[in-house]
Amino acid sequence: MLSSMNLPDGIQRRRTALDELNMRSIFEENDVICAEVRGFQHDGLHLQARSQKYGKLGRGQLLTVPSYLVKRRKQHFHNLENYGIDLIIGCNGFIWVGEHVQVTDDMVVDQVNKSEQDDAKPDENSFSPEYQEKNYTRQETRENICRAANAIRVLSTLGFNITVEVITETVDLSTSINVAIHEMLGSEFYVLVAEKESVRRSMTKKK
């Protein structure tokens, strides 16, 4: 619903027919977006994105896990500072792992201009250091995204509850024993994760 959207100009005003026509300059089919479910009505599912932490997602991976593995919590947005990545863990089983995005309450993001810039062809300055720093994700961050995504895949396959704490522990385990990212999906690492979870559960019972 347009009435629940945070428009690119950041101004609180009544939405117009022009805003509705311009929505395709912000969102398109197959875009990955983060939004709150406002409710179900006769014309379908109604979403809302009332602040800058919601909106179009980029520079990351979207994973799906069985929804019963996700523990319901008040906070769904998490920042893993040590790895420079963000996690959005949805109760519907959709989990986003992406590059950390710094968002402040008073920041206004012109998503229309950003979309136009993304669609534009590179010019002679496209490969300048300034352009690359602004528009490209560092290799270390990309590796951390893949490592966290594989940790989620392992936990999902093993049928363990998925929380930010368990994801972080699994990522830390892989780095502490120098397991390569692709080797995290091997049987040996599955066994290590299962053993670690078994120890954690036994310790919890003792408490």
Report how far residue 111's alpha carbon sits from residue 98's, in angstroms, rounded to the nearest whole number.
18
Q: Give yes or no for residue 70 having a pLDDT over 90.
A: yes
Higher-confidence residue: 117 or 20?
Answer: 20
pLDDT digits (tens, 9 = 90+) for 37-53: 777 777 666 666 666 66
Q: Give yes or no for residue 185 having a pLDDT over 90.
A: yes
pLDDT band at 121 (very low <50, low <70, confident <90, very high): very low
Cα distance between the two ends of the chain: 48
Q: Give yes or no for residue 107 having a pLDDT over 90.
A: no
pTM for this structure?
0.71
Mean pLDDT of the chain: 77
- Minimum mean pLDDT range among 41-50, 67-76, 83-92, 105-114: 105-114
pLDDT digits (tens, 9 = 90+) for 136-146: 778 899 999 99
Rounded mean pLDDT, 95-115: 59
For residue 174, what pLDDT is reported? 95
What is the 3 state secondary structure string of the chain?
CHHHECCCCCCCCCCCHHHHHHHHHCCCCCCCEECEEEEEECCEEEEEECCCCCEECCCEEEEECCHHHECCCCCCEEEECCCCEEEEECCCCEEEEEECCCCCCCCCCCHHHHHHHHHCCCCCCCCCHHHHHHHCCCHHHHHHHHHHHHHHHHHHHHCCCECHHHHHHHHHHHHHCCCCCHHHHCHHHHHHHHHHHHHHHHHHHHC
Q: Give yes or no for residue 188 having a pLDDT over 80.
A: yes
pLDDT band at 71 (very low <50, low <70, confident <90, very high): confident
Give ∠ CA 123-103-64 in degrees, rounded to 5. Answer: 85
